[in-house]
Structure formats: C-alpha cells, structure tokens
Structure 1
Amino acid sequence: MPSFQLGERLRGWRERRALSQMALALQAEVSTRHLSFVETGRAQPGRELILRLAEELEIPLRERNVLLAAAGFAPVFEQRPFEHPSFDPVRAIIDVTLARHRPFPAFVIDRHWNVVRSNGGVPAMYEGIDASLLQAPTNVVRLMLHPLGMAPRVQRLAAWRSHFVVQMRRQFDLTGDPGLGALLREALAWPGGMAPLDESTGGPAMTLDIDTSIGRLSFISAITVFGSPVDVTLQEIALEVMHPADAFTERVVRAAAKEREARSDCQGKAAGNARK
C-alpha cells in the first residue's frame, strides 16, 4: 500500500469517527500540517505515530496491523487461533463460566456473531431449526432472525430484529468489517419488520421470550468482553450468558435438565449392562 493509500485509509477512519484534522491532531499531539501531509501521502508516518493515531481513532487491532504493514513495519498485535496454548488462561475462565451457568444458555461469539464455544444449555430453544443453520459455524443472527430459525417462535420479533440491526450497524461503523456488512445486508433481507424496543415486559431490560416444547421461556442476556486485549482474536470475541427472567423459566429449565440427566444415566447403565 503506497503512502497515499495509507493516508487515504487513515483519513477514512478519521471521517468515520467524525473528527476534523485539527481535533485528531490535538488528541494525537501532532501538528495539523503534518497530519494533513500524512493523509495526502506527502509524509510517511513512523510506527509510533501510526499507533498513536490508531489509538485515538479506536481502530480495531486487526486494521492496525494492516496499517503498520502498509508502512513497512512488522505487525504488533498477534492473531492466534482460539485453541492456541497462549489462550489457556482465557479458555479456562470461559469454560468455568460456561459450566457454572448450566443449565441456562451461555456461549462465546466472534466478530461475525459466529458461536465459538457453547455450554449447550436449553436444547429446546433450538428444536425445529433448519439443519443448515446449525452447521458450523453456527451464527447467532441467523439462528435468531432467519425465518427457518427461531424467528417464528420469538415474541416481539420486529423489536428484536431492530435490536440486532442497530448492533450490527454500530459494529460495522466501528470496524468497517466487510463480513459484518454482508451479514447486515443478509439480515435486512429477511421478513419480520422493524420496531422500536418496547417496554411491554415492565422490566429494566428487554427480555427474549421464545416458545419451546417446555413452555414460553424468558431470558435476559449479559455480555462480557475482555479488557485491554493485545491479541486480535481476543479483542473480537464476547461471552454472552442468558439468565432466566422469571420463576417459570428458572423452574422448567432446571426440571428439563434434570430429566435429561436422568435419561442419560439410564441409557449409560443400560449400555453398560449390555456389554456385560
């Protein structure tokens, strides 16, 4: 990427953040003149300046590596697979959280809303979903909003569709990720309408209410991200846990889990007796 293209890319991020050259120059402690020269390709920025500008512009780590490489510098932020040994402490935290949250759903998603890890909670939520949507990588947006997914059983679907669309647009604005843009366009093509988030549940947060074979279940979600990431993969994952929003959901989900466990124990004993 020549200097001019590098400068154009930096200018694009500045405009995406709605910052003037003067405002960014003040934040990054660089002269407006020099920043102008960088953006027009008349000046080649050093490694430190690229990282400082990227920090002020909140550019994702993945894109910071691209900018550094374009300027002839080695990437600073590693991008290791989630199963890499260096992620052992992170995976341990995640696995403990997933296990402790059973029998309620919890999962890890990546930047494209694909499920990276799951605790398999509440299988009844996924009954009747088309098999194609359950193939890896399973995508949360498709599971929730696709007409062959959970959508027909989700209450206030239009409000939830609006919620997902707003979230994806915000992420796309922040990252410029073409994969997110493609997923957003795909979601907008599905039926379901759009509606503002309503307050019909009477609670402080909108609940996910979905009809299942064990009854209408209601959940409130909490999302966790890891602070101060220096690895691309870690920056791009989030942990979502779904908590029961009412006593009925708490009761029937726990009862269904106990029933599955009892059936599994019986099947295990039967298989053991058959081998004797």
Structure 2
Amino acid sequence: MSDIGPLLKHWRNARRLSQLTLAAQASVSIRHLCFLETGRARPSRAMVLRLAEVLDVPLRERNTLLLSAGFSPQYQESPLDAPALSAARGALDAILAQQEPFPALVMDRSWDIQHTNAAARRFFAYLNDEQEATPLGPPNVLRRMFHPDGIRRHISNWHEVAEALIRRVRKEALGGVTDERAQRILDEVLDYPGVPQELRTLDPATPQLPIVPVHYVRAGRRFDYFSTVTTLGTPQDVTLQELRIECFFPMNDQTRTQARHLAESGACPSNGQPACVS
C-alpha cells in the first residue's frame, strides 16, 4: 500500500486548499484525489509530480512524495562545487560581488553559511575583533546571531532582530520546508544564556514590520543595515532550490561611508589597524 496519502493531505492543508480546489487545479476528479489521500488508490508517477507542482512542494519533498509512492526520486541534490552547478556558482559569485562594498552571504535551508563576499568577511571580522566567534559547528546564521560570544553583543536592537529572525524561521518551516536540523539549531540557540524565554512563545498573529533594521555598534561606531533575501528561480536541483542569498543594504550615509572605508582604505574605521579580513 502506498504511504503517500497522509503526505498529500499534509501539503494540501499546508497550502490551505480544499480537496475540491486541488482537484480542479490538478485536473483530477475529487473522488480520485480522496482515494489517493486515504490510500484506496495509488497514484502514477506523473500524478505525483502534477500534484506536487500544483501544491508548490519543494524539490526535496517532491522526492519524498515519489519515494512514498514507490517511485525513484526525480531531482538531484548536487554538492555546490559540482561541475554541473558551475553556472549557478558563477551567478552567485556575480551577485555577491555586485553587493560590494556591503555584506552579502549565501546560506542553505539549515541556515549554514555556504559563501560570503569580501565585504561580509571584513565586516564580521571587524565586529569580532578579527577573531572567530565561538559557536560550535559549521558557520551558521542562527548560532552567530544568538550565541553570547557571537555578533549578538554588537547589535543594539538585538531583541527586536532576534524576534524577527525566529518568526522568519518558523514561517519558512510552514509545510515542512525547513528540515529537522534547522529546528534543532533553533531549539539550541533558544537555550543559549541570556536568550529571553518569551522568544519561545511568540504570537504568530502579531503583525511584522516590512523592514527590520539591524543596528551594529562596536567601539563607538554604528552601522545600520537592513537585508533582503533572494532565491534562485526555477531550479531543478535540490541544493540550488534551498539556497538563499541575503544582501545587506545601508540605511544611511554614515553606514555607506564606513563600509566604503573598510573596503577602500584597508583599515578598520575605529582603530586604523590593518584590514579586517577573516
């Protein structure tokens, strides 16, 4: 018997679609869809892919749907340095370079940092006094934001930023998009010393600001940034679909000037020491 039924129902509920709506959009009878969800019928490979497309299921989970229906996976998960992804890596490099002299980074869906531009390396080395932060494991946005020895100590509005970040993690988890590892990391960072207990129980109905500024302060110098997140359009590889490109944009002329100082003078604006490159 196929195990795909509960998964189809899960994704239909996650997308807030009725059986009638999904059946109409997928051009399948509501009776057949009902049979698929209850396990009374087994879908063809083409039907699984059609329903997954209508439900906008991520590629990793489409493979799971296929396996649950007894079929082989459709989508590859290639290492980012694989020859097949060379064109995509070139595009990522171009985006990161275009963002100079302001920070930009590439992360996966577990929030592990896969790539950064030179500006990000300069800026975060500057915040860390040119020393690596202490969070264990691969470089990870959540760990570095929440760890008491990470960049958290240099963010003057950290509580506001942390709340927005947690909401973002949970929003991206809707429908199972975020993997179990990301959830484990979130649980881990919420247990770090000094993290307020109320961040565990945020009200999902609370309106969110369209832009959350981040105010970094070190040695009397302040950098005000907000960020945007971009994904690669219509990828056919699991790795590429799960990548997110986060670009930081200055909110004032002071931040623009200090970022250019870091890039052009080869010195940290606060102390005139050699370039802050990690």
Provide TM-score, normalisation by structure 1: 0.83
The aligned counterpart of 2:84 is 86
Structure 2 residue 220 is matched with structure 1 residue 219: no
1:226-237 superposed matches below 5 A: 226-237=232-243
Provide TM-score, normalisation by structure 2: 0.83
Q: Which runs of 5+ in 1 are unaligned?
A: 266-276
Distance in 2 between residues matched to 1:129 and 1:33, nearest whole Å: 62
Instruction: Answer yes or no: is the 8 Å Cα contact 1:114–1:138 preserved in 2.
Output: yes
1:107-162 deviation line (CA, Å, top 9, x unaligned): 101001110001142121333876432x6521111111222212222122221112
**What is the identity percentage for the equivalent residue pairs of Structure 1 and Structure 2?**
35
Distance in 1 between residues matched to 2:156 and 2:186, nearest whole Å: 21
The aligned counterpart of 2:166 is 165
Shift in CA distance, 227/34, structure 1 to aligned 2, threshold 3 Å: same
Q: Give the aligned residue type for 1:250.
A: R
Q: Which runs of 5+ in 2 are unaligned?
A: none
More displaced 10-residue stretch of structure 1: 181-190 or 40-49: 181-190
Instruction: Answer yes or no: is the 8 Å Cα contact 2:63–2:75 preserved in 1.
Output: yes
More displaced 10-residue stretch of structure 1: 207-216 or 108-117: 207-216
Q: Using the TM superposition, give the Cα deviation of residue 167 of structure 1 relative to its aligned residue in structure 2, in angstroms.
A: 0.8
Structure 2 residue 205 is matched with structure 1 residue 205: no
Distance in 1 between residues matched to 2:130 and 2:154, nearest whole Å: 10
Shift in CA distance, 147/130, structure 1 to aligned 2, threshold 3 Å: farther
The alignment's C-alpha RMSD in Å is: 2.6
Structure 2 residue 37 is matched with structure 1 residue 42: no
Q: Which has the higher contact order (CA 8 A, sep 6+)?
A: 2
Q: Give the aligned residue type for 2:134.
A: S
Shift in CA distance, 53/176, structure 1 to aligned 2, threshold 3 Å: farther
Q: Using the TM superposition, give the Cα deviation of residue 214 of structure 1 relative to its aligned residue in structure 2, in angstroms.
A: 6.7
Structure 2 residue 59 is matched with structure 1 residue 57: no
1:104-183 superposed matches below 5 A: 104-121=102-119, 122=123, 123-127=125-129, 131-133=133-135, 137-174=138-175, 175=177, 177-183=179-185
Shift in CA distance, 131/176, structure 1 to aligned 2, threshold 3 Å: closer
Which has the greater radius of gyration? 1
Q: Give the aligned residue type for 1:83.
A: D
1:29-81 deviation line (CA, Å, top 9, x unaligned): 11111111111111110011111111122211001112112323222111111
1:192-216 deviation line (CA, Å, top 9, x unaligned): 45587898xxxx7332111124711
Instruction: Answer yes or no: is the 8 Å Cα contact 1:129–1:150 preserved in 2.
Output: no
